[in-house]
Amino acid sequence: MFSFEETGSLSSHTPIEEEQTVDLHETSAVLIALLRLLHYPPAPPVLRAQEDEKSEHAVLNHKLPKRAYEPTTVIPLPLLISLLYGLADKYALSDKVTQALNAHLLAHAPAFPLPVYGFATAHRLDYVASQASQYLMPLASYTSAEVSVIPSVSAYHKLVRLQGLRVQALRDLVLGEDIFPHGEQVSAP
């Protein structure tokens, strides 16, 4: 509990008639996090320098290239989800702080796409959800416990449709190329 003395009077001998207090229902750790967010908004995460050499393993990898961030510049995912976004919402922090938190959440998308997608969808962070969906494996490859982070059936359905559209677009692109004979027999001269 904090108390504030009345500063309006010039005489320091005047007794304070009423004690002014502000009750804060936060722990000291939460208050420290809140004050740090207010006074020192987080800087965006810093990308790690990539090697120019592509190994055979990297070329054959079917996944998108992961964006590697300096670990010391990224706020840990559990801290973002469980504490910082709650503080930003509860205390209506500025857009600058919220955008910085979104950048940190997005930095976790390559490694943890499903939790990032689920959280972003639940909190209507459409851009973050869209970016995180690029790193998702087919939904059938996840367990039901893992998929439970998706907040609603409609969000799950949107993701299934999006993955289906991406597969169809890739199929159309590949089948439209001249180097693929489309199943036709090519006779040798």
Whether 15 shows a pLDDT value over 70: the answer reads no
- In this structure, which amino acid lies at residue 186? V
∠ CA 158-67-152, rounded to 5° = 20
175 band by pLDDT with thresholds 50, 70 and 90? confident
| CA gap 2, 37 in Å, rounded | 20
Mean pLDDT (the chain) is 83
Angle at 160 between CA 155 and CA 165, to 5 degrees: 120
pTM above threshold 0.85: no
CA atoms within 13 A on the CB side of 16: 10
Three-class SS state of 22? strand
Domain boundaries, the chain: 26-43+65-175
Measure the CA–CA gap between 22 and 82, rounded to whole angstroms. Answer: 25
- Which residue is associated with the tokens 């869209």? 130
Q: What is the largest CA-CA distance in the chain?
A: 111
The 10s digit of each residue's pLDDT in 65-80 is 667 888 889 999 999 9
Confidence band for 52, pLDDT divided at 50, 70 and 90: very low
**For the segment 77-119, what is each residue's pLDDT rounded down to a tens digit?**
999 999 999 999 999 999 999 999 999 999 999 999 999 999 9
> Averaged over 128-137, what is the pLDDT?
93
Among residues 91, 73, 154, 78, the alpha carbon closest in space to that of 119 is found at 78
Helix or strand run (H / E) with residue 4: strand 2-4
Nearest to 43 by CA among 67, 69, 66: 69
8 Å CB contact between 2 and 22: yes
Task: Quote the CA–CA distance of 133 and 118 in Å, as a whole number.
Answer: 10
